[in-house]
Amino acid sequence: MRRRRILLLFTLIACGSSECRLDPSPSCSYRPEGIGSDGGNEARAEEAASVEAGDVHACAFLSTGEDEVFGEDRRPRCWGGNPSAQLARAASPESGELWWYANWDDETLYFALGAAHACLFDLDDPDEGSELECWGNNEGGQLGLGPDEAIEGLVSSAQAEPDARITSLALGGLHGCFGDTEGVSCFGDERWGQLGAPDADCCEPVRIPDERWGDTPFDRVSLSAGTRHGCALLRSEDATAGPVFCWGDDTFGQLGRGALGDTRVPPARVGDFEATAVAAGPHHTCAIDGLDAVWCWGRNERSELGTEGESRGSPAPVPLDGAIVAIYAGGESGLAFGGDLDDVAPGAAHSCAIDPEGRAWCWGDNSAGQLGVPAGEPRGPVATHPERRFRDLALGGRFTCGITLADEVLCWGANDLGQLGREGESSHEPTTVPVFDESE
């Protein structure tokens, strides 16, 4: 197994340890190599490229304008809860404390957060194929290794084929999937069929058989993963829309095939419409169709489908006025704190969308103000901070973060573990995450 040049301290003995906060040595600073603590220009990013969220933590992907592949040096800055070392170190942060992900010195192709784990594809040696590397919670084998194997820091989980162009990476509660120009591979727990391949065993990556996609031609794949299911949007190189396929657990109808209550369902097409985007929440799924309308299906106990009513196994429209260009889904999986893997109790869940003007609309659970309005009962679609304009959102367990068109990183909702990137109580009001703090 090829080892990476990143130093990750994983004692996993004391999640609340303060050793690194008291130790000023470089091994405990968790800054990219060569970056000091004086807040110099090297430590500051020019913009936040994107934002990701897990159950209780979040990361903003920063850029500094040096990466030869993307035209930017992509580095994540992270905050929030750390019960399973998903922040890549054993100590837990103070509320609102921000961390770099270790000595990040490799070019990164894709980076994704699961409920309590994270994975990336690096470009350290593209001639050998991009390498998938993961860290954090592995109770279900979601790092691509057996759950009984000793995990020390970042582990190599797979090697993509040298000629395969990676197009997507998505992590769920206990599994993950990546797509390339040849198809889809999944890794982790297989008990609900979330790996999409017949007779798949935990935990190493396995390719979903090509025949599962029928006669659908495609050159690129977009993926999204829920707690126990996955979905793929297949498109040809020049197409803006394509069919959606889902697989895994269908207890709440989250696979969109009209039925509820089944598990280990192989990949099957959702309806007969084509989509431009797909987003899987813990136990529901949403997509944007070719006419820029939003459809959702699956669990609906907290209005995560945009209307009141029962869970449903077939796509139904979300009552939104006007076109939608981006869709997001999130919520608690019940796994961030090592919940019972066999009986994950559905918790909070919500969905959000962005329209062509950058306005955000959210619906579903609002127990902590994660919809951007005062905390209360579940809601249908509401304008979320209508005075703001967003270009990206990330939905966590009971909180939401977004990047505005002015490059602000804002978060709102639950803050019991510092999910909002600051000290203080939970709030529906957006507050700035100081990812560019020159004092860091």
The predicted-structure confidence for 208-258, as pLDDT tens digits, reads as follows 999 999 988 888 899 999 999 999 999 988 899 999 999 999 999 999 999
Per-residue pLDDT for 84 more than 60? yes
- pLDDT, mean of residues 78-90: 83
The 10 Å Cβ neighbour count of residue 425 is 8
Distance of alpha carbon 434 from alpha carbon 64, whole angstroms: 16
Distance of alpha carbon 351 from alpha carbon 281, whole angstroms: 8
pLDDT for res 344 = 61
The predicted-structure confidence for 152-184, as pLDDT tens digits, reads as follows 777 887 777 777 778 899 999 999 999 988 899
Higher pLDDT among residues 22 and 205, named by residue = 205
Q: What percentage of the chain carries pLDDT values higher than 90?
A: 56
pLDDT for res 281 = 96
Per-residue pLDDT for 358 more than 60? yes
Angle at 236 between CA 230 and CA 240, to 5 degrees: 85
Q: In the structure encoding, which two tokens stand for residue 316, read together?
A: 């139904």
pLDDT for res 107 = 62
pLDDT for res 24 = 23
* 365-378 core/surface letters (b: 16 or more CB in 10 A; e: else): bbbbbbbbbebeeb
State the alpha helices, DSSP H only, in 169-228: none
pLDDT for res 340 = 63
pLDDT for res 98 = 75
Considering 83-87, 103-107, 304-308, 345-349, the range whose residues carry the highest mean pLDDT is 304-308
The predicted model scores a pTM of 0.86
pLDDT for res 167 = 84
Distance of alpha carbon 197 from alpha carbon 186, whole angstroms: 9
pLDDT for res 383 = 97
CATH code: domain 273-440 is 2.130.10.30
Considering 29-33, 71-75, 85-89, the range whose residues carry the highest mean pLDDT is 85-89
pLDDT for res 124 = 60
How is residue 204 annotated by DSSP?
S
pLDDT for res 263 = 92
Q: Which residue has the tokens 């704190």?
A: 337
- pLDDT, mean of residues 264-283: 95
Higher pLDDT among residues 316 and 84, named by residue = 316
Average pLDDT over all residues of the chain: 81
pLDDT for res 14 = 25
The predicted-structure confidence for 15-47, as pLDDT tens digits, reads as follows 222 222 222 222 222 222 222 222 222 333 457
- pLDDT, mean of residues 328-339: 82
The 10 Å Cβ neighbour count of residue 424 is 11
pLDDT for res 437 = 53
- pLDDT, mean of residues 62-75: 54
- pLDDT, mean of residues 299-320: 95
Q: Delimit the domains of the chain by residue range.
A: 273-440
Short-list 250, 271, 118, 119, CA closest to 193: 250
- pLDDT, mean of residues 324-329: 97
Amino acid making up residue 311: S
Per-residue pLDDT for 192 more than 70? yes
Binning the chain into helix, strand and coil, the percentages to the nearest 5 are 5, 35, 60
Of 72-81, 181-190, 279-288, the least confident: 72-81
